[in-house]
Structure 1
Amino acid sequence: MGNGYQPLACDLHDYLEIACLHHYRLCIELLDGGRLEAEALPTQTAPSKEEFLVVRDQQGEQRLRLDRLLAITPLTPGASFSRVVLGRGQC
């Protein structure tokens, strides 16, 4: 897989699918220390097998590689889960 991509565990991937299905607004924490708030859109898989979460924020749509995500926290009221740690790193 390209660029040392590490696939996300299936049980963690389920949380992203729920967020995308319901278009949850998320607080997304990145492994590099970055953070953004955005609406979850569908996930995508590149030909190289890298997986991405597509999100929309005030700047438009962007793709976030799943192995670069530290955690997601739904901001949408009534969400079916709370903060989920997806990647390696310190909280």
Structure 2
Amino acid sequence: MTQDAISCELHDFVEVACMYGYQLKLILKNNQIIEGKAIDIVNSPAKQECLVIDSASRQHIELTQLAKMQVLTPNAKFNEVVFE
């Protein structure tokens, strides 16, 4: 069975990061690290929810691929979220 979505609680953290334009450090399940500004959540052509992050260029990261999201912006509403 594959995971098609993240929990509503975790989704809310991603939405807050986008709403405030937080600088993020994302650690993916494959241990890839991506840093950049949270922009939006969109659906891919394959109907996967993706976080749009602006680093050197805009990237679309499937929410189901997130392992950890660290907020680099000072005084943020939260500091770190672990996706299980």
TM over 0.5, shorter chain? yes
Q: Which sections of structure 1, spanning at least 5 residues, go unmatched?
A: none
1:82 lines up with 2:79 in the alignment: yes
Taking the TM superposition and a 5 Å limit, the aligned residue runs for 1:28-39 are: 28-39=26-37
Query: Deviation digits for residues 49-83 of structure 1, max 9, x if unmatched?
Result: 3100000102x101001111101010000100111
> How many aligned positions are there?
83
RMSD of aligned residue pairs (Cα, Å): 1.3
Q: CA deviation at 1:47?
A: 5.0
SS at match of 1:17: helix
SS of the aligned residue for 1:11 comes to helix
Specify the alignment match of 1:10 in structure 2. 8
Contact 1:12/1:86, CA 8 A, preserved across alignment? yes
SS of the residue corresponding to residue 16 of structure 1 reads: helix
Indicate which of 65, 70, 75 corresponds to 1:73: 70
Measured in 2, the distance between the counterparts of 1:47 and 1:33 equals 25
Q: 1:63 to 1:79 in 2, by over 3 A?
A: same
Counterpart AA for 1:73: Q
- Partners of 1:5 and 1:50 within 8 A in 2: no
Q: Percent same amino acid among aligned pairs? A: 33
Q: By how many angstroms is 1:48 displaced?
A: 3.9
4+ runs deviating over 6 angstroms: none
